[in-house]
Structure 1
Amino acid sequence: MPPLMKTKLVLIFFFFGLLSIAAQTKVSGYIFDEYKEPVSFANVLFKGSTQGTITDENGKFYLESDETWSNLIVSFIGYETLDVPLAKRVNYDLNFTLKEEASALDQVLIVTGKQSKKNNPAIDLLRKIWENKRSNGLKQFKQYQYDKYEKVEFDINTIDSALIKSKLFRGMEFVFDQVDTSNVTGKTYLPMFINEAVSTVYGDNIINKEKNDLKGNKNSGFSDNQIIIDFVDDLYNDFNVYDNYLKFFDKSFVSPLSKTGINTYNYVLSDSSFIDNKWCYNIIYYPRRKNELTFKGDFWVADTTYAIKEINLQASKSANINWVKDIYIEQEFEVLNDSLFLVKRDYMMSDFAFSKKEKSRGVYGKRTTLYNNYVFDKEKDKKFYDVEVYNFDKDVYDRDDTFWSENRLESLNKDEQGVYKMLDTLKTVKKFKRLYNLGSILTSGYIEFNSLPLDYGPIFSTFGFNEVEGLRLRAGGRTYFGKNDLWRLEGFMAYGFRDDKVKYGISGKWLVDKKSRLIISGGNRRDVEQIGGASLTTSSDVLGRSLASSSVVGTSTNDKLTSINLTSLAVEAEPWRNVIFRLGGNYRTLESHRQLLV
């Protein structure tokens, strides 16, 4: 994982601890056969519903629902189906034994060990998927357009009595009234952050261009902390399950649909059923070997088009990824016609933790994306894709409830609704506000004044010491009306007690045109620098941090500092994304600081 992402992850851990709403029915346990062997990939669901799960390789399962159910159905090919009454709303650590069907003793399918590559109907279907993979997805059309709804959530997991009783949450104990349990890992968790975004995506496969037009964005109170949003953007990139390799956290996993999958996975034809009036086959897959970057799970494939209807993937426990304990993915595909399937919904959950121990505390990162209203072969002018959506529209981040009720492609569940309500309550708690403000200061380096459009900082350059200046004190600030200000001013003043001299700097920027990102900037700085320790010819920041002081409380052996008087003026524009033109000039005078003291 890149160092920047690690830093962001540490800050995510620092920030959060919030809320959740309990589901109404919860059940967990193990499924065994008559020989006390675990039954892997057995089906477990609430009777009379479509809410279910499958057991893992150890026969373990966890299932929950927002509704109340009185019976549980446990089934697997070759075994008698169990109909188990649930005595309580919450039932943990149950053990069930499946008996072999008397009429099917010769046909029992046990999904363990290596599966044959020959005369295996699952692999025959897999080969058909390879042959037809090009006829699936957006790449079949010249142009495409669709609506996209994305929901990102962070939860703190493994909630135990030690955390509940910790001093950190003293005065905020009410957040633990609604602890919930993950239906993937079976761990308790508290939702703490949610971000929703609605956009329209345009693409052209001929010129290989894509444009995302944001229509609305809403989050649970952390809009001023861009680090969270940036972390999410870095974390969850789009992927195509049909690719041979799927990349997560800079690691390449072998896809279960890969052409090399036969050598990597075991495949078992498990079931068949109608899904959206299409006859589909269910194939279970799991790794042939340990200690490889692989998944386990199952998928449903249509019997005529051989396109994937549903698939889930869970990273194998032996996959070694720094700071990541678990990855779980679900995807559903929509049938537009007899030959075309497109992504309808995808869900990804990652379990981040400093320790890989089973009971270690961490953070769940979840992303749910839904797609709708596909339009194809509607050509747009090439200039349409060259004009980036840079303009900040305040209304996009301030949509009302009516907008969200009309544009959400999936309603918020009780947990997600509770995040918004809980944060509204937490914002009134003084202790939470102090912790939140402290985290903001440490991440940005600036102290915000709510009553003024001004930030003080950076605090990491407040105190310093060197042989020439002695004790150095520095105070600075910047204007801040919002993250999309049309203009900003920044300045500082510093004083050295040994040289008895005042240093200062001031700079300003003016965004003349939002569309082209035309910016005029300039400033002046009189300070001291360490020749050779700073780039005096390439820096575009007239207020670049003085090497005489680089920390909140710092000392230095710098005894050959140079006085610098720098005036700068520049004009820059970004007409296309990541294409920047800059014209600027600097006027600089340098003198030995020691000579000035003589």
Structure 2
Amino acid sequence: MKQVLFAILFFLITLLTSAQTKVGGKVLDEFGDPIAFANVVFKNSKEGVITNENGIFYFESDQDYSTLVISFVGFETQEIPLKKGLNSNLKIVLIQGTTLKEVVVYTGKTSKKNNPALDILRKIWERKRKNGLYMFDQYKYDKYEKVEFDMNTIDSSFMSSKVFKGMEFIFDNIDTSRITGKTFLPIFINESVSEVYGDNVKKKHKEILKANKNSGFGNGDGVNTFIKDLYADYNIYDNYLKFFDKDFVSPLSRTGIHVYNYVLNDSMFIDNKWCYNIVYYPRRKNELTFKGDFWVNDTTFAIKKINLEASKSANINWVKEIYIEQEFEVLNDSVFLLKRDYMMSDFSFSKKEESKGVYGKRTTVVKNHVFNEPKEDKFYRQEVNFYDNSVFNKPEEFWQENRFEKLNENEAGIYKMLDTLQTVPKFKRIYDLATILGSGYIQVGNVDFGPIFSTFGYNDVEGQRIRIGGRTYFGPHDKWRIQGYTAYGFRDQQFKYGISGRWMVNPNNRLILSVGNRRDVEQMGVSLTTSNDVLGRSFASSALFASGVNNQLTSVNLTTLGFEIEPLKNFTFQTNFTYRTLKSASSEFSLDYYTDITQSEIKSEVKQSEINLVAEYTPKRKTLGYGVDRMDVDFNYARVFLSYSNGFKGVLDSDFNYQKLQFYYRQPALVGGFGRLFTTFETGKIFGEVPLGLMGVIPGNQSWFVIENTYNLLNYYDFVADEYASLHFEHHFNGRLFSRVPYLRKLNLREIVGIKGVYGRVSDRNKLLNASGLNYIAPEDVYWEYHAGIGNIFKVLRIDCAWRGSYLDMPDARKFAVRASFGFYF
């Protein structure tokens, strides 16, 4: 009986593996040293990989192959017989060749002179704007995209964990990665079908989503936090490729010659086109670079195939692997078009080989190209907020007909598996915990409680402060949302609250009506550019740790009514009517002002009605969601903000007439591969008489933490101004300098330097109005300071040192400070 069962089992295994070959192992030289970037392919096929920097390889094929071919420049080619199915732990030794002629062998750092690979690379640079879609005035194609998440490094101890008790059925979908050789369990999948249009003459691009299908666990902000990073747009011909908020140097970059070694490794016919094979790898460790190889045509110098694998030493957190494959098809003798793009990222807390993590994978397949059919300009006008419910509810028959690639058995089982998992309480608890950490909210029914990270706070007026808040949440595309909070200070023994409602009346142009009221205690003057966010509260208002005395807080009662509209993509217009009362929250701080020219009457409370008009432009901003609230994919976009405010005396017993004009501009810029420079410019002027409560205050920073656009060596109210101009520069080198320093490079630290300055004035009329006891000082001689910091300490900590550059003789002037910040950044 045992023999019968064994025979049946052997027969089943044979059936499952007969149409698949899996190989893995290590390539060594005669001295036992690993050979990096060796070619490993199945004989008489185009399927293969190159070994990594440790000589290790793994890949697989749906076909049955019997021979493996291993080659590398300067070594004799080896052929290894294979058995059917899995061939693991192969140890292959290459013998150095003795009969090679006219072959230059490159080891270590390759020469920048007399290197045929670099001659080919220069030809690629010359032709990169003449290849592919760039050859045509207009183009159109169909696109299918699949995004998937998988738990990886699944082993027996993992499967037997108590965490999965009652969910053992999910392991029926385990598969093996053809890239890493690791087992994985698919847990999420999203599919979409689109039409893509472009005009190279007008530099226009548009993508129309035709269908989208989700596994059912991608509707929360917590999941979107991770999914958004897989939708990176990149072109291998660009100098820099952006992944996870980092700029990697492309191997086809004009600057690549300085950061990569290139080796002309092979040449052969691919699809009847003679192509060269070039292997590339980093010149230095810890830089944002790749390793891999590409095949390039010998006449058009267009890329036929390329693979990119991020160096394991690259200065990036929480991502152990980034792997990209692109394959181009030959349309005719001179046109090479992208056919398939595959990207895989391995998210993990550790970069150790055995560590468990999650694969994020994106596969893009394009076909049905049409060229030189022009469209009118209005066609390319991007919809501001197009949402068609039918796009997300296509029947299964549609997907069977329109998938460019069929789902494999495990992928097809994800939908069924997740439907079943939704009925398992334990999995729902695990999923909810991940969502809470990602979004900061705890969902109970259709209400989210939070954000949990603002529950506790402290300041000198309220003492210990506790806050409880919530919002309605039916999904990421909610057209209306109500949110609010209540807080209590144990020192002042007062309750505070805020409530806000927003309703998107017209989704197409995002016409949103809003109303809200807030009564709270806050630190005023921590931002030059004002905000009418009724629930907004600065970090400085309730910092757990602060330096110096922090009793200059204000009791605010703010009511706002407004609307906003987005007539063009990424251009918004807002108008708000606000009414506020301001009074000091502390007996040791005053907002007093004179009510008459003789300075005989003093008033302590400000009542003010105001109309505010705002225009904001955020080019290249990308968002997720179609509802009243959206999530930014990243913050590497420019922001231009123009605000005009008018105060009306007498309206609702308001105290002052004035006009306020403010301008804000923030621009991130890549600086030649040496990181990103963030430039922020702000300027503003108040026309008319205003008291301290409405005056512009140069934002200080008395916390121990880094707060953007504040001055680290200033206390609150050190400087005030009714006209000002501020300029900040902050450069993030992203470890480019430390990667060149021995012993430091292994720490993956990141360098930050910055300088900031502000000029301002106060009119004589506003000085005469002041009865607060605060001596108005304006930075007429330009206040400036500079800072230098180290980021990525233990992957979560940044520490800055700041030095004061001017106004050193001010009373109690701080000349040096240390600031820190925490965060999970890639």
1:288 and 1:134 map into 2 onto residues whose CA distance is 27
2:353 aligned residue (355, 358, 365):
358
The equivalent residue for 2:322 is 327
The residue that corresponds to 1:5 in the other structure is none
CA distance in 2, matches of 1:573, 1:420: 38
Structure 1 residue 574 displacement after superposition: 0.8
* SS of match in other structure, 2:423: coil
- CA deviation map 1:77-107 (0-9, x unaligned): 7635524131x633321223456889x5668
Deviations 1:210-259 (A, max 9, x none): 22222222222222223433544345422222234434445444433334
1:56 corresponds to which letter in structure 2? N
Aligned residue number for residue 395 of structure 1: 390
Query: Relative to structure 1, is the Cα distance of residues 32 and 531 closer, same or farther in structure 2, using a 3 angstrom cutoff?
Result: closer
User: The residue matched to 2:435 in structure 1 has which SS?
Assistant: helix
Q: State how far apart, in whole Å, the 2-side matches of 1:521 and 1:540 are.
A: 11
- Compared with structure 1, are the counterparts of its residues 337 and 474 closer, same or farther at alpha carbon in structure 2 (3 Å cutoff)? same
Give the superposition deviation at 1:309. 0.7
Q: Paired residue for 2:377?
A: 382
| Residue among 43, 61, 74 paired with 2:57 | 61
Aligned residue for 1:168, secondary structure, equals helix
Encode CA deviations 1:157-190: one digit per residue, 9 max, x unaligned: 3334553444433433443455433333333333
Question: Does the Cα contact within 8 Å between 1:528 and 1:561 map onto a contact in 2?
Answer: no
Task: Please state how far the C-alpha of 1:260 moved relative to its aligned partner.
Answer: 4.7
Cα distance in 1 for partners of 2:259, 2:458 equals 60
The alpha-carbon distance between structure 1 residues 549 and 66, as it changes in their structure 2 partners (threshold 3 A), is farther
Report the secondary structure of 2:394's partner residue. Answer: coil
Find the aligned partners of 1:182 and 1:284 in 2 and give their Cα distance: 23
Corresponding residue of 2:566: 574
Match of 1:27 among 11, 23, 27: 23
Residue equivalent to 1:512: 505
Distance in 2 separating the partners of 1:540 and 1:206: 41
The residue matched to 1:337 in structure 2 has which SS?
coil
TM alignment of 1:467-478, pairs within 5 A: 477-478=470-471
Alignment-mate amino acid for residue 432 of structure 2: N
Q: 1:270 to 1:498 in 2, by over 3 A?
A: closer
Structure-2 change in CA distance of 1:508 and 1:85 (3 Å): closer
The corresponding residue for 1:16 is none
Structure 2 counterpart of 1:198? 193
CA distance in 2 between counterparts of 1:547 and 1:43 reads 54
Q: CA deviation at 1:569?
A: 0.9
**CA–CA separation in structure 1 for the residues paired with 2:265 and 2:529:** 67
Superimposed CA distance per residue, residues 62-87 of structure 1 (whole angstroms, 9 cap, x where no aligned partner): 122456x362322437635524131x
Q: Is the 8 A contact 1:392 1:484 kept in 2?
A: no
Deviates more, 1:426-435 or 1:40-49: 40-49
Q: Residue in 2 aligned with 1:300?
A: 295
CA distance in 2, matches of 1:47, 1:335: 23
SS of the aligned residue for 2:306 comes to: strand
Contact 1:213–1:389 (CA under 8 A) maintained in structure 2: no
534, 538, 543: which one aligns with 1:542? 534
Name the CA shift for 1:568/1:323 in 2 (closer, same or farther; >3 Å): same
The alpha carbon displacement at 1:564 in A equals: 4.1
Alignment-mate amino acid for residue 518 of structure 1: L
Matched, 1:84 2:81: yes
Alignment of 1:129-528 (within 5 A): 129-262=124-257, 264-290=259-285, 292-450=287-445, 453-458=446-451, 477-492=470-485, 505-525=498-518, 527-528=519-520
Q: Tell me: CA distance 1:290–1:513, structure 2 relative to 1, closer, same or farther (3 Å).
A: closer
Structure with bigger RCO (C-alpha 8 Å, 6+ apart): 1
Deviation of the 1:140 alpha carbon = 3.2
Higher alpha-carbon deviation: 324-333 or 119-128: 119-128
Question: What is the deviation of 1:387?
Answer: 3.9
Displacement, 1:26? 2.9
Distance 2:459 2:116 in 1: 75
Partner Cα separation in structure 2 for residue 492 and residue 294 of structure 1? 46
The answer on whether the counterparts of 2:266 and 2:278 sit within 8 Å (CA) in structure 1 is yes
Using the TM superposition, name which of 388-397 and 539-548 deviates more. 539-548
1:494-541 alpha-carbon deviations (Å, 9 max, x no partner): 67899887655543222222222112211334x331353877993323
Cα distance change of structure 1 residues 47 and 449 upon mapping to structure 2, 3 Å threshold: same
- In 1, distance between residues paired with 2:418 and 2:537? 37
Distance 2:168 2:419 in 1: 15
CA contact (8 A) 2:69 2:78 kept: yes
**Counterpart code for 1:489:** I
| Structure 2 CA distance for partners of 1:273 and 1:436, relative to 1, 3 Å | same
Give the drift of 1:561.
7.0
Larger radius of gyration between Structure 1 and Structure 2 = 2
The TM-score normalised by the length of structure 1 is 0.80
1:377–1:228 Cα change, 3 Å = farther
Give unpaired runs (5+ residues) of structure 2: 1-15, 588-826
By how many angstroms is 1:354 displaced? 2.7
Among 52, 75, 85, the residue aligned to 2:48: 52
SS of 2:331 mapped into structure 1: strand
Of 210-219 and 284-293, the range deviating more from structure 2 = 284-293
Q: Per the alignment, do residues 28 and 590 of structure 1 end up closer, same or farther by CA in structure 2, a change over 3 Å counting? A: same
Distance 1:125 1:547 in 2: 54
The 8 Å contact of residues 489 and 509 in structure 1, kept in 2 or not, is answered as yes
Output the amino acid matched with 1:520: L
Structure 2 residue aligned with 1:14? none
Greater mean deviation of Cα atoms: 34-43 or 491-500: 491-500
Residue 732 of structure 2 corresponds to which residue in structure 1? Answer: none
Q: How many residues align?
A: 566
State whether residues 522 and 541 of structure 2, in contact with CA within 8 Å, keep that contact through their aligned partners in structure 1. no
Shift of 1:559: 7.8
Task: Give distance in 1, aligned partners of 2:490 and 2:33.
Answer: 77
Q: Secondary structure at the match of 1:184?
A: coil
In structure 2, what residue type is equivalent to 1:515?
Answer: N
* 1:355-396 superposed Cα distances (whole Å, 9 cap, x missing partner): 333333333322222222223333222233334251222222
Deviation at 1:312, TM superposition (A): 1.2
Residue 589, structure 1, aligned to residue 581, structure 2 = yes
The answer on whether the counterparts of 1:40 and 1:111 sit within 8 Å (CA) in structure 2 is no
CA RMSD of aligned residues (A): 4.0
Separation in structure 1 between the aligned mates of residue 527 and residue 270 of structure 2, nearest angstrom: 63
Q: 1:536 to 1:195 in 2, by over 3 A?
A: same
**Aligned in 2, Cα 1:229/1:378: closer, same or farther, shift over 3 Å?**
farther
Instruction: Check if 1:96 corresponds to 2:92.
Output: yes
Cα offsets for 1:275-330 (capped at 9, x unmatched): 22323232333345555544322211223322111111223344332333332221
* 8 Å Cα contact 2:497/2:520 also seen in 1: no
Checking the alignment, whether the CA contact within 8 Å between 1:329 and 1:348 is kept in structure 2 is: yes
Mark the CA change 1:414 to 1:423 in structure 2 (over 3 Å): closer, same or farther: same
> Is the Cα–Cα contact under 8 Å of residues 523 and 540 in structure 2 kept in the other structure?
no
Report the residue type matching 2:524 in the other structure: G
Q: 1:75 to 1:561 in 2, by over 3 A?
A: closer
Identical amino acids, percent of aligned pairs: 62
Give, in whole Å, the separation in 1 of the partners of 2:113 and 2:537: 67
Q: Is the 8 A contact 1:461 1:551 kept in 2?
A: no
- AA aligned to 1:517 is R
- TM-score of the aligned structures, taking structure 2 as reference length: 0.60
Counterpart of 2:134 in 1: which secondary structure? helix
The residue that corresponds to 1:529 in the other structure is 521
In the alignment, the residues of structure 1 paired with residue 230 and residue 120 of structure 2 have an alpha-carbon distance, to the nearest angstrom, of 33
